[in-house]
Amino acid sequence: MTTHGDPATQSGAPAVAARTGPPDDAEDPPATTGDDTLPAALEGLRAAIGATSFPLSLPSAEPARRTAAGLTDQLDDYLLPRLTRLDAPLLVVVGGSTGAGKSTLVNSLVQARVSAAGVLRPTTRSPVLVCSPADSSWFRQGELLPGLTRTNEPSEDPGTLQLVTAPALPPGLAFLDAPDIDSVVDANRALAGQLLAAADLWLFVTTAARYADAVPWELLRSARSRGAVIAMVLDRVPAEASDEIAAHLSEMLAEQGLGQAPLFVLPETWVDGQGLLPGRVTAPLADWFARLAADADARAAVVRQTLDGALAAVHPAIEGLADAADEQVETADALDERVQAAYRGAHRTVEQGLTDGRLLRGEVLARWQEFVGTGEFFRTLEARIGRLRDRLIAAVTGRPAPAAELRTAIESQLVTLLRGVAAEAAENAYTGWKAHPAGAALLEPGLAHPGDDLPERAERLVREWQRGVLDLVRAEGGDKRFVARTAAYAVNATGLAVMIAVFASTAFIPTGLEVATGAGTTVAAQAVLQAIFGDQAVRTLANKARVDLLDRVRTLLDEEAARYLARTEAARPGPETADALRRAATRVEIARHRSGLTTGEGDR
């Protein structure tokens, strides 16, 4: 009645043991001392993974986060404890779809109802580990799967591991009945994956009805790629379809590179009053495990193969993590560049505004002409300009001295320009990020506009610059020809002239001057500007004042850009992260080869 696949895999010692040769430790002694040991290398790897994060929302980020979490779990749950106790009992994790009969099979193999089997799906929600009483202290002490709280009672909490002993089970072998792998319950699915990663041997249970489902095959492929030792159970197979289904499943296994995995085909049958399968149905599987339990070398070979396979899979997995970390850094750089380009553009606009005369229009121009028109300006200047004075004063009707008004006009004109470019830059940076998924995820609406305190800061900037110009005139103008040495007003007037010169800093007079005003004042203003620009000393001062203004504008815009850059900075992995991962993985690889674990099976 009992049928199963390739009988060759089930004769003598378990087939998996036959495939793994003894470790070649004649040349390479197992590493046990110093920093080259596998445990030390794995601790280093764990730290390197812990130092890595993938905060930017990229397609590679979520898989990388999962891989990192999975690797960390596997290091803690299995690799590190297993390496320190290579002789610990072999753990068979029973996995598969819900209702496949996993719990029923485990109960039947240990001949006791240790794990509830039932009609409600899913039944098993928290793992149940059954071992020989002799092995219970190892599993209870919690080296393996340290994150799961040990309990003696059945539990629904996926954070617990129920421990049961079964006298029928020989020492050296334990079964872990896992929740279903394709559960609708998220926690079940995650836990099943974690448990399988802690298995020395995967016992994969599927049914005649479900063996073609996709999820199990995905898991099997990943197990295979990790070099885990796998055995398959095809459960509840109707007698008439047995050959056909077994052949088809064998074919599928071969296609997936799992042709070597022992396959046990269990016929559909009735469970007894205890919910156990008849002994004759489970006999081939029970025998296979009995031989494994009795053969310490075979068990050690299984452990080595799975362990080495898992270690061999570390390097490619870490390579993927390192690439994802690099991508994070590159993306952060690219996002930064979008912001910097927007604010560079803003700075350029201000620079242009200082050369194309646009600041010399409207109010500033009107105030300048008033200012010049009073004649007070000229009293402060040297004779060369002074010669113009009489002529100009005649041309310009006397008006109150509007130095303060000119200064205010300059301030408001500059502030308007700064607010404009800051608004434009914020919008451009916002659009630039919005167009990138990782950028969009970092945005918040306020970033589309300049910072709340920008108007205030712009005003302060201009006032400080104006004060700076006056300081400059005072410091440098003391022994210059054009400043009357004593008059405070001269400093003020020259300062304003310097500011105007900054606004038209090429030695040309903006055309706006002509259109904006009546002929008389235009002549005056123009003449004065020519006189001013003709003066080397004023030009020098104007250049310094211009550089100073642009420096301050740069600082202001940098502060604006910082609102964006702080976000990428917070998200950016350190530049060393990816290299640290790669170095740690290389160290593991070297330690693995030196450890004597390597059988060749893991080097796929």
Ligand X SMILES: Nc1nc2c(ncn2[C@@H]2O[C@H](COP(=O)(O)OP(=O)(O)OP(=O)(O)O)[C@@H](O)[C@H]2O)c(=O)[nH]1
d(CA 509, CA 497): 13
Catalog residues that contact ligand X under the rule CB under 6 A.
98-104, 117-119, 121-124, 180, 235-236, 268-271, 275, 277
Q: Which does 269 bind (CB under 5 to 8 A by kind): ligand X, Mg ion, none?
A: ligand X
**Nearest distance in Å: CB 54, ligand X:** 32
119 binds, among ligand X, Mg ion, none (CB under 5 to 8 A by kind): ligand X
Radius of gyration for the chain, computed over Cα atoms and rounded to the nearest angstrom = 40
Residue 134 Cβ vs ligand X, minimum distance, rounded to whole Å:
26
Distance separating alpha carbons of residues 496 and 403, to the nearest angstrom: 8
User: Closer to ligand X at the Cβ: 210 or 367?
Assistant: 210
The whole-angstrom separation of Cα 585 and Cα 578 is: 11
- Of 118 and 133, which has the nearer Cβ to ligand X? 118
**Distance of alpha carbon 507 from alpha carbon 273, whole angstroms:** 106
**DSSP code of residue 198:** T
Output 96 or 375, the one with its CB closest to Mg ion: 96
What is the C-alpha separation between 158 and 141, in angstroms, rounded?
19
Per CB under 5 A, does 162 bind Mg ion? no
Asked if the bond preceding 445 is cis, omega within 30° of 0, the reply is: no
Residue 177: CB minimum distance to ligand X, A:
7
Between 124 and 136, CB nearer to Mg ion: 124
Q: Considering the complex, state which of residue 281 and residue 438 has its C-beta at the smaller distance from ligand X.
A: 281
Residue 236 or 436: which CB sits closer to ligand X?
236
CA distance 71 to 75: 6
Burial label, 52 (beta-carbon count in 10 A; 0-12, 13-18, 19+): buried
Instruction: With beta carbons less than 8 A apart as the criterion, state whether 45 and 588 touch.
Output: yes
Give the nearest distance from C-beta 91 to Mg ion in angstroms. 17
Q: Which amino acid is at 324?
A: A
**Strand 201-207 vs strand 160-165: parallel, antiparallel, or unpaired?**
unpaired
Q: Which does 376 bind (CB under 5 to 8 A by kind): Mg ion, ligand X, none?
A: none
Looking at residue 78, the DSSP 8-state letter turns out to be I
Nearer to Mg ion, 9 or 282 (CB): 282
Residue 261 contacts which entry, ligand X, Mg ion, none (Cβ below 5-8 A, type-dependent): none
279 CB-contact burial (10 Å; exposed 0-12 / middle 13-18 / buried 19+)? exposed
Sheet of strand 128-131: strand arrangement: 149-151, 160-165, 128-131, 173-177, 90-96, 201-207, 229-237, 263-267
**Least separation in angstroms between CB 271 and ligand X:** 5
Residue 180, contacted partner among ligand X, Mg ion, none, CB below 5-8 A by kind: ligand X
503 to 562, contacts with Mg ion by CB under 5 A? Answer: none
Q: In whole angstroms, how close is the CB of 270 to ligand X at the nearest point? A: 5
Q: Please select the residue that binds Mg ion; options are 10, 67, 124, 207, rule is CB under 5 A.
A: 124
Chosen residue from 10, 74, 103, 132 binding Mg ion by CB under 5 A: 103
Shortest Å, Cβ 160 to Mg ion: 15
Interacting span for Mg ion (CB under 5 A) from 7-15, 70-78, 98-106, 494-502: 98-106
Say which entry of Mg ion, ligand X, none residue 104 contacts (CB below 5 to 8 A, set by partner kind). ligand X
All residues at 6 or more sequence positions from 507 whose CB lies less than 8 Å from its CB, including other chains: 533, 534, 539
Q: How far is the CB of 124 from Mg ion (least distance, A)?
A: 3
Q: Which two tokens stand for residue 218?
A: 């995905």
Within 10 angstroms of residue 58's Cβ, the number of other Cβ atoms is 19
Q: Is 97 in the site for Mg ion (CB under 5 A)?
A: no
First to last CA, the chain: 38
- Does 123 bind Mg ion (CB under 5 A)? Our answer is yes
From the list Mg ion, ligand X, none, which binds 275 (C-beta under 5 to 8 Å, kind-based)?
A: ligand X
Instruction: Using the minimum distance from each CB to Mg ion, give the nearer residue, 123 or 577.
Output: 123
Q: Please give the helix or strand (H or E) that residue 593 lies within, else none.
A: helix 577-595
Tell me how far, at minimum, the Cβ of 155 lies from ligand X, in Å: 14
Residue 175 DSSP SS3: strand
Choose between 125 and 338: whose C-beta lies nearer to ligand X.
125
Residue 443 contact partner, candidates Mg ion, ligand X, none, CB within 5 to 8 A by sort of partner: none
Length of the chain: 604
The residue among 169 and 302 lying less far from ligand X, judged by its C-beta, is 169
Residue numbers of the site for Mg ion (CB under 5 A)?
102-103, 123-124
